[in-house]
Amino acid sequence: MISLVIQNIIFAVLVCGLVFIIKILDGKILGLKWILASVLSLWLAGISNIFFSLDLISLSLLLGGVALGIYGLILVSKEKEKNKNRVINSIESAVESIIEKSTAKGIAVIYNGESENSKFVFKYGSEGECLMMTIPIELGDNSTCYVALFGDKPFVNFRREDFESEISFLKLYIENLKLSEKVKFVEDESVKVKNSIYEFVHILAHELKKPLTGIIGFSEILRDEFKNLSDKDIIDFTTNIKRSADEMLMMLKYLAEIFEIETGKDSLNLERFKASEIVDDVLAYFSGEIGRKKLSLVLDIDRDFEIEADRKKFREVVYQLVSNAVKFSYEGGVIKISLKSFDDLVELVVKDEGIGIRREDMQKIFKPFPRIKSHLNGTGLGLALAKYLVELHGGEINVSSEYGKGSEFRVILPSKRGVNKFKNGVVENCEMI
């Protein structure tokens, strides 16, 4: 009798153990359920034979239990063989395998793409559960992607070495994806550059047409009508030819400087000098034009400080801003120039009361050959060059303007090499370009 009790206790423990295992595995291995049914059938067969002596029923339960056990073992064997021979050949098969092995409810693969603000997220299964684990995967370019597992319980038994095949495939897949993205990005940028070059050449040809037309026209008149022209006519024609040639030469000079800066071939020849001397020199150069237009100058210049910069390039920046103010000021207008030094920064402000800039043109004025309605002549290369030169020094240039009432250009430069220009309170009330 005691042996029978022991046998039943063993059967009960076995049944409870199988139920517990099936619950842990969440029913992933279907064969275990049939084995559990087999154990229960054999247990019932034993009890039936002991207490009821129903040989036919006991025999049926016994045979049924054996059949269920064999069927369950076959299913377990097939499941094991399936997992052994699982081929990870797609991202779907990789994440399916991770979900099955980890008993996760859902999975997401996340990494930053090549293009700006690009983020790749591959989702599989349900994300309705809590995020329970994040697995980092180091890629070949020293970046990291992440595999996020979602579930209703912590993955306490998770071992990374059990998922090496899946993780290796995900790593290879994402590296190939990033490589293809990079190739596409380069191809897209190449197309953009090519289109920009075509557009630039087209605009340049259009801009050179005007001075060339003047040179050719006046040259033909001089050639064909030279004997019939007065000395004054000849001087006027040659002056116009020179003016057109100077315009072309200046245009090409600015383009060459911009090209050198863009391609990284230009560099700064730093030296210390008084910035006020450069401003005085530029104002003296424009004194004739200022006098002709009867413009008034209001100067607020600190003459005591020195700046560490490229003297030639700093002069070019001042020249372009003053030239712009003089050119577009109304006759009898006022030009205000401020030059200050504070917090290791230099601030140059040139303000005029001229024609101003339309709001829709504000984003164009620092680009070569801007097509804007505010300026009726000029190529706009001067302001574009000024912006390039300021940024080459590690500074920034801003503009604020009201159409019909004037413009204000503000330049912020570090007074010495290595100073951070971005400090609170330096640039105020300006529209950033």
pTM flag (> 0.85): no
What's the pLDDT score for residue 6? Answer: 60
- Flag whether pLDDT at 282 surpasses 60: yes
Residue 137, amino acid: I
For the CA atoms of the chain, what is the radius of gyration? 41
Using CA atoms, how far residue 134 sits from 91, 97, 151, 153, 352, in Å, is: 17, 16, 12, 14, 59
pLDDT band for 370, please (50, 70, 90 cuts).
low
Per-residue pLDDT tens for 173-215? 888 877 887 777 777 777 776 766 666 676 667 667 778 888 8
Which element (helix H / strand E) includes 297?
strand 296-301
What are the tokens at 18?
């199988």
What are the tokens at 75?
């299913």
d(CA 105, CA 151): 5
3-state secondary structure of 413: strand
d(CA 264, CA 258): 10
Residue 359, amino acid: R
d(CA 301, CA 383): 22
d(CA 360, CA 351): 20
Compute the average pLDDT of residues 221-231.
85
Taking all residues of the chain, what is their mean pLDDT, rounded to a whole number?
76
pLDDT band for 14, please (50, 70, 90 cuts).
low
Q: List for the chain the helix, strand, coil content (%; round to 5).
A: 55, 20, 25
Residue 34's closest CA among 80, 71, 62, 64? 71
Q: Where in the chain is the domain with CATH 3.30.565.10?
A: 270-414
d(CA 433, CA 425): 18
Based on the number of CB atoms within 10 Å of its own CB, is 23 exposed (0-12), middle (13-18) or buried (19 or more)? exposed
Per-residue pLDDT tens for 313-366? 999 999 999 998 999 999 999 999 999 998 889 999 999 998 888 888 887 788
* The CATH homologous superfamily of the domain defined by 270-414: Histidine kinase-like ATPase, C-terminal domain (3.30.565.10)
Compute the average pLDDT of residues 9-15.
63
Q: Collect all residues with Cβ–Cβ distance below 8 Å to 342 and sequence separation of at least 6.
A: none
d(CA 27, CA 19): 10
Give the residues across from 300 on adjacent strands.
338
